[in-house]
Structure 1
Amino acid sequence: MTETAERVALLMKTLSHPKRLLILCNLVEGERSVGDLARLTAMRETAVSQQLALLRREGLVATRREAQSILYRLDRPDVASLLGFLYATYCADPPA
């Protein structure tokens, strides 16, 4: 259990950065390019690229080349489920 707790703590540390969380939330909807993510998160492309590099190193996102573009996607179903829960709990519009 200790080993699992340490792995989860590292994951939560990675997710705790607001800009990384925004990037990941946008990737829940599907593949995106750096330019798309920059526009959706109101960040500079260089900043998005830096965050994506960290997320890729941590194994949370993967890439696919399409012509001249590199598309990023979530690479872990458990992280997608966690992000879905966070979105539904904190971001979804409350019922009218």
Structure 2
Amino acid sequence: MLAEPSPLPAPALDLAVLRQSADAACRLMKTLSNPDRLLLLCQLSLGEKNVGELEALVGISQPTLSQQLGVLREEGLVSTRREGKNIYYCVASPQALAVMEVLYAQFCAP
């Protein structure tokens, strides 16, 4: 009877890299923990929108909308482009988009 080969040892995880990843994940989750920002990302995960469209879709007043979009921009979760007088926003973070997909499946899907 042949002996089963022993499993390969798991590679050692670099604690510094793990800590950086944990910090990045915590920043993302902290940013997503605001209901207004979560609603904005929900809409933007469906496609690019301008400020007027976002205001109508999520029902957030202009000052609050601008503040929350600023936070999302500072955290690198959205990017902007200007077309004439309009500023368009889209999701710029693949990690944020992946989390939004999970949240949608868990809380919004029929």
State the TM-score, normalized to the length of structure 1: 0.92
Measured in 1, the distance between the counterparts of 2:63 and 2:38 equals 17
Instruction: Give the alignment partner of residue 57 of structure 2, picking from 40, 47, 56.
Output: 40
1:27-57: CA deviation from partner (whole Å, max 9, x where unpaired):
0011111111111111112211110011101
Count of matched residue pairs: 93
Question: Does the residue aligned with 2:60 lie in a helix, a strand or coil?
Answer: coil
Give me the identity figure in percent. Answer: 45
Measured in 2, the distance between the counterparts of 1:19 and 1:78 equals 19
Is the counterpart of residue 60 in structure 1 residue 77 in structure 2? yes
State the TM-score, normalized to the length of structure 2: 0.81
Measured in 2, the distance between the counterparts of 1:5 and 1:34 equals 32
Consecutive aligned runs of 4 or more in structure 1 exceeding 6 Å deviation: none
Instruction: Give the alignment partner of residue 32 of structure 2, picking from 15, 22, 36.
Output: 15
Q: Which runs of 5+ in 2 are unaligned?
A: 1-17
1:1-38: CA deviation from partner (whole Å, max 9, x where unpaired):
12211111111001000110000000001111111111
Greater helix content: 1
